[in-house]
């Protein structure tokens, strides 16, 4: 993982940020989120972000309302298509809580935010596999998550490179799995708002088994809007 991003995440606490509301998409620390931007107001948002600190806040829309908690991301890749779309990748830095959505002159929304409840998020950027591999509890935690991931992958017919996943530190794997799993917006929001990595892991395992059994409805992979 990256000490650079740990330092960046720790010192990056803008009080007001542009927000991109998108149901079914959450952004957690360390993880990358590819986005296909085509609406004019959000094209404008990307233009403005690229002129400044390249920061965007991802928030979900649930029942037509903006969720209180989202993820702050930094644009780390950018390209423009022939038809005027932007293809970007956001690196998750840390989570935030919205305190107010003020009236602004920009065509896109902005929010006043606080990071006080998520002070440990930057530390995830520097986690390593070594300590987990030497820990009995770490190995058992990963094993339980792997069982749940395999159950969900089999249920929805997705092929996974399990060897590659074994090289990812557990807290990062938890975040990545929470982002890409085909859960409802409400369930993804619960994963996003989990206070600790272990709490998110236990919730993730429960949801994976639930969706694998079909109890949560038909689990289908979600595409990025």
pLDDT tens for 151-187 read 999 999 999 999 999 889 999 999 999 999 999 999 9
pLDDT at res. 177: 97
Q: What is the mean pLDDT of residues 188-209?
A: 97
pLDDT over threshold 70, residue 218? no
Is it the case that residue 220 has pLDDT exceeding 50? no
Q: Return the pLDDT at 147.
A: 96
Local confidence band at 58 (pLDDT 50, 70, 90 cut-offs):
very high
**Mean pLDDT rounded to a whole number for the chain:** 91
| 211 touches 60 (CB < 8 A) | no
Contacts of 197 (CB under 8 A, 6+ apart): 124, 170, 171, 174, 175
Which pLDDT score, from 0 to 100, does residue 217 have?
54
Kindly report, residue by residue over 118-159, the tens digit of the pLDDT: 999 999 998 876 555 556 666 899 999 999 999 999 999 999
Topology (CATH level 3) of domain 3-126: 2.30.130
Output 222 or 56, whichever has higher pLDDT. Answer: 56
Angle between helix 136-156 and 170-180 (nearest 10):
20
User: pLDDT at residue 219 above 50?
Assistant: no
The pLDDT score that the predictor gives to residue 47 is 98
Pairing of strands 16-21, 55-59: parallel
Q: What is the pLDDT of residue 225?
A: 35
DSSP H/E element including 179: helix 170-180
Is the pLDDT confidence value at 72 over 50? Answer: yes
Average pLDDT of the segment spanning 6-33: 96
């Amino acid at each position: 993982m990256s000490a650079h991003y740990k330092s960046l995440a720790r010192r990056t606490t803008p009080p007001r940020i542009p927000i991109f509301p998108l149901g079914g998409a959450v952004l957690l620390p360390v993880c990358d989120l590819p986005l296909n931007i085509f609406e004019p107001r959000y094209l404008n948002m990307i233009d403005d972000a690229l002129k400044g600190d390249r920061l965007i806040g991802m928030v979900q829309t649930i029942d037509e309302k903006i969720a209180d908690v989202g993820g702050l991301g930094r644009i780390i890749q950018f390209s423009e298509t022939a038809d005027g779309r932007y293809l970007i990748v956001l690196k998750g830095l840390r989570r935030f809580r919205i305190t107010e959505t003020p009236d602004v002159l920009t065509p896109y929304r902005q929010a006043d935010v606080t990071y006080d409840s998520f002070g440990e998020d930057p530390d995830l950027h520097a986690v390593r596999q070594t300590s987990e591999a030497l820990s009995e509890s770490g190995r058992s935690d990963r094993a339980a998550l792997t069982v749940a991931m395999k159950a969900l992958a089999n249920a929805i017919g997705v092929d996974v490179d399990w060897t590659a996943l074994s090289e990812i530190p557990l807290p990062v794997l938890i975040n990545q799995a929470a982002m890409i799993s085909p859960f409802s917006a409400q369930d993804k929001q619960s994963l996003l708002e989990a206070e600790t990595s272990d709490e998110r892991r236990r919730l993730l395992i429960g949801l994976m088994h639930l969706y694998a059994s079909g109890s949560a409805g038909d689990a289908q992979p979600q595409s990025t809007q």
